[in-house]
């Protein structure tokens, strides 16, 4: 016999799985399968039917047909025997004989079909052999998996044992050393910034000052860097080997940043013996027609002592904010001193800040529904025009003292209608066909370019262009809060300090 193709199809002639065993064009296979339901309407009670060129041998299976397409010269008895073997294979991989189950196991069925037929001729195999061949069972593989799992169990046990030893060593190290209270912790319930995403203030002990002094990290690459270099050499040698065999190897470039905005990490801020970091995150929800719904700014001040002689200090806080801002000090900070003199200092005498650790000392929160207080105002105005939409999006910097960097305004667009046609734009734009969004990208927004617009057209409905999402970073904080000075408690002399500020978006959307 010469078997041209084997297929599983519905009673309406829809092919679910098809495997051809001789050289045939796709159009010919599709034509033969499409012709099968037509020749079935003859009213004859047979399991095969012939046309001028081929023979269809089939077997009904509930709502499906197992169909073989052979030449007219093939042996009909061998065809029927092969058909029965095909029909017995299908239940081995499909729990139910329906369309979805066949599609889910299409590749397993094709692999099984290949074990039955080779180059149009049947192989001498039975159902048990087909099952064994497709499972590809290997004793060596089972042994390897057993060894690998045993090694993983041993590694987990070793890890647990080491963790217990480290915990025991920490407990022994804490013996004989006292703390003062529960350390930097606490919260403000629903308004205590529990959802702010800032690191929690953990328990610290400040009774003793470590005798080691701060030193700049070494710039030597070390062992880890040597390992990385070795890996790169292995990659280079592999590439050269591929090229020597006549294969062309192209350079792999880093994926493009979303919105074509270069978000490169700048050099680390040089840190003085006392380093202070002020960070804020803003969450904004605004309506497309009703204006600002909610805005919340959550701030955190962290302190890091880099040298041992600066553990006993006070921070002078400059609060130039005329808006209503809520403050919360760390439980270990003298709250009365902060309220009366705007100083950040520890409770009690003789206590010092820990060395080399980032400690949260102050939180603040600002919320408003006033449109004039929003950092960046976004207006998205879609207008329907003869089956299409003309969309105009504009921004306006509302706070002149801010400089916004890496601004990306993400506008959803309808799918399946192609890319939007951009008429004019201030800055750059990028259409992401996978996410179906248009990204409007502006490297910097400040007082020199307070306003900007983008105009584009695309088929759709006005609701298709919401919600609009906005992200940015800023080197200035939104609230006018700063550190004006640092003084040592022993002699009240000023201490050298450095500051780092950051203002970012947590969620900014126009719905």
Per residue in 238-256, is it b (16+ CB within 10 Å) or e — as a string? Answer: eeeeeeeeeeeeeeeeeee
Is residue 99 classed as helix, strand or coil in its secondary structure? helix
Q: What is the pLDDT of residues 411-451, one digit of tens each?
A: 999 887 888 999 899 999 999 888 889 999 999 999 999 99
| Average pLDDT of the segment spanning 378-385 | 91
pLDDT mean across residues, the chain? 81
pTM, whole model, 2 decimals? 0.51
pLDDT at 124: 85
Reported as a single tens digit per residue, the pLDDT across 201-225 is 443 444 433 444 444 444 444 444 4
Question: Average pLDDT of 149-168?
Answer: 89
Cα(59)–Cα(61) distance, integer angstroms: 6
- The Cα–Cα gap between 404 and 401 comes to 10
In sequence order, what are the beta bridge partners of 118? 121
DSSP secondary-structure letter at 18?
Answer: E
pLDDT for the residue numbered 226: 43
Q: Give me 204's structure tokens.
A: 């610290």
What percent of the chain is predicted at pLDDT more than 90?
38
Distance CA(66)–CA(272), nearest Å, equals 78
């Amino acid at each position: 016999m010469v078997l041209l193709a084997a297929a599983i199809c519905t009673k309406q002639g829809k092919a679910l799985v098809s495997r051809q065993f001789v050289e045939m064009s796709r159009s010919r296979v599709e034509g033969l399968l499409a012709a099968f339901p037509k020749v079935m309407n003859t009213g004859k009670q047979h399991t095969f039917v012939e046309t001028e060129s081929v023979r269809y041998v089939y077997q009904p299976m509930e709502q499906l047909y197992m169909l073989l397409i052979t030449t007219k010269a093939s042996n009909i008895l061998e065809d029927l025997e092969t058909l029965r073997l095909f029909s017995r294979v299908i239940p081995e991989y499909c729990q139910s004989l329906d369309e979805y189950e066949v599609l889910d196991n299409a590749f397993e069925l094709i692999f099984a079909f290949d074990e039955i037929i080779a180059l149009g001729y049947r192989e001498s195999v039975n159902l048990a052999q087909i099952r064994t061949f497709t499972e590809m069972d290997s004793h060596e593989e089972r042994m390897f998996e057993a060894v690998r799992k045993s090694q993983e169990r041993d590694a987990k046990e070793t890890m647990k044992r080491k963790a217990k030893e480290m915990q025991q060593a920490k407990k022994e190290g804490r013996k004989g050393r006292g703390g003062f209270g529960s350390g930097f912790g606490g919260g403000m319930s629903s308004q205590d910034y529990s959802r702010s995403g800032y690191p929690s203030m953990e328990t610290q002990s400040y009774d003793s000052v470590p005798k080691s002094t701060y030193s700049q990290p070494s710039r030597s690459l070390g062992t880890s860097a040597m390992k990385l270099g070795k890996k790169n050499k292995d990659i280079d040698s592999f590439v050269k080997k591929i090229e020597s065999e006549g294969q062309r190897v192209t350079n792999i470039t880093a994926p493009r940043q979303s919105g074509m905005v270069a978000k490169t990490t700048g050099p680390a801020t040089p840190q003085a013996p006392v380093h202070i970091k002020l960070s804020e995150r803003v969450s904004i929800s605004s309506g497309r027609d009703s204006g600002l719904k909610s805005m919340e700014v959550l701030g955190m001040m962290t302190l890091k002592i880099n040298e041992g002689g600066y553990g006993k200090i006070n921070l002078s806080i400059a609060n130039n904010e005329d808006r209503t801002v809520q403050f919360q000090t760390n439980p270990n900070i003298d709250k009365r001193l902060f309220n009366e003199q705007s100083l950040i200092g520890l409770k009690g005498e003789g206590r010092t800040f820990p060395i080399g650790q980032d400690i949260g000392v102050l939180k603040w929160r600002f919320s408003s529904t006033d449109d004039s207080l929003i950092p960046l105002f976004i207006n998205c105005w879609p207008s329907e025009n003869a089956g299409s939409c003309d969309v105009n999006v504009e921004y306006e910097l509302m706070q002149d003292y801010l400089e916004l960097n890496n601004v990306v305004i993400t506008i959803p667009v309808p799918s399946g209608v192609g890319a939007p046609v951009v008429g004019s734009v201030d800055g750059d734009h990028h259409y992401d066909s996978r996410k179906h969004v248009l990204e409007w990208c502006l490297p910097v927004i400040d007082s020199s370019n307070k306003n900007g617009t983008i105009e584009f057209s695309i088929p759709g409905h006005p609701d298709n262009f919401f919600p609009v999402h906005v992200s940015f970073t800023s080197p200035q904080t939104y609230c006018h809060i700063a550190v004006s000075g640092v003084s040592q408690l022993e002699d009240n002399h000023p201490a050298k300090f450095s500051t780092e500020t950051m203002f970012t978006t947590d969620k900014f959307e126009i719905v």
